[in-house]
Amino acid sequence: MSDSTNPHSLVAADVAILTIRDSALSVLLIRRANDPFRGQLALPGGFVEADETVEQAAARELFEETGVPKSASRLDTIGVYSRPDRDPRRRVISVAYTALVPNPGLDRPGGDAAATQWLPVDQALKEPLAFDHVDILEDAVDHARKQLEYTTDATAFCDGEFTIAELRRVYEIVWQTKIDPGNFHRKVTRIDRFLRPTGETTVRDGGRPAALYTAGDLKRLPLPLSPAARTSA
């Protein structure tokens, strides 16, 4: 068990922080200030400290970059990236997560402001991202699409109170499909504990006022939402 056969590694947590901006699924990227890959875009991430789990490290990164409180964050594991040469300097094993957050409005979010930016994922995937972050981002987007099918996490893209139509647009954007408004309305309102009506209404999109909802406490859908989305994919 020498250090050359069972060496210690640095373990990092990287987070694909996804949101919906201007009708596009977008990801938060950071322009790297240091080598390796200085000046290139990368997913936010950092090393795991001695007293925290990997998931806690990811939640910490998410908070530092976006201000999303750790308790509210819904992190999902995407995978473990461990090609021995993925970091040119030393062995770093990375655990990747997705975080789905509401539209932050601002172009330049949290702390290290100047260096961070939102980019539509289509565009981000064409950038020469640092390390193997293109692979991670591809897997993250795939994962997010499935996540919406089997969980209630689409509500994580909506801020506080939202209308059924706003929720529908989340699915339409992530899945790149049209969804029938009437059928969608019936489907989601029939699922128990998915949505909680507030009793309020809004007219923010014009037309007839829409009822407002908040996310319910259901996490995993009893049946996959919209088998139709799969056939068209």
Partner DNA sequence: CCAAAAGTGTTAATGCTACACCCATGC
Partner DNA sequence: GCATGGGTGTAGCATTAACACTTTTGG
Q: Of these, 165, 173, 218, 221, which contacts DNA (CB under 7 A)? A: 165
Phi, psi of 163 (to 5 degrees): -100, 165
- Min dist CB 66 to a second copy, Å, is 22
* Tokens of residue 152, six digits: 């209630």
Rule CB under 7 A: say whether 199 interacts with DNA: no
* Tokens coding 97: 């997560």
Encoding tokens for residue 66? 């976006």
Cα–Cα dist 211/119, whole Å: 31
Counting contacts by CB under 8 A, is residue 224 touching a second copy? yes
Task: State which residue, 99 or 210, has the beta carbon closest to a second copy.
Answer: 99
| CB 223, min distance to a second copy, A | 7
The C-alpha angle with vertex 186 and arms to 164 and 178, in degrees rounded to 5, equals 65
Sign of CA dihedral 50, 156, 106, 34: positive
Q: Which of DNA, a second copy, none does residue 4 bind (CB under 5 to 8 Å by kind)?
A: a second copy
38 near 89, Cβ under 8 Å? no
CA distances from 95 to 89, 136, 231, 232 (A): 18, 10, 31, 32
83 binds, among DNA, a second copy, none (CB under 5 to 8 A by kind): a second copy
Write down how long the chain is: 233
> Is residue 43 within 8 Å of 15, Cβ to Cβ?
yes
Q: Which is nearer to a second copy, 40 or 77 (CB)?
A: 77
Give the residue, chosen from 85, 182, 192, 233, that forms a contact with DNA under the rule CB under 7 A: 182
Q: Does 32 bind a second copy (CB under 8 A)?
A: no
Q: Which is nearer to a second copy, 9 or 202 (CB)?
A: 9
Using rule CB under 8 A, residue 77 touches a second copy: yes
The answer to whether residue 177 forms part of the interface with a second copy (CB under 8 A) is: no
* Among the listed residues 186, 140, 149, the one whose alpha carbon sits nearest the alpha carbon of residue 25: 140
11 binding a second copy? (CB under 8 A)? yes
Please report, as ranges, the residues that interact with a second copy according to CB under 8 A: 1, 4-11, 47-55, 77, 79-80, 82-84, 91, 93, 95, 222-224, 227, 230
Please report, as ranges, the residues that interact with DNA according to CB under 7 A: 163-165, 180-183, 185-187, 189, 201, 203, 205-211, 223, 226-228
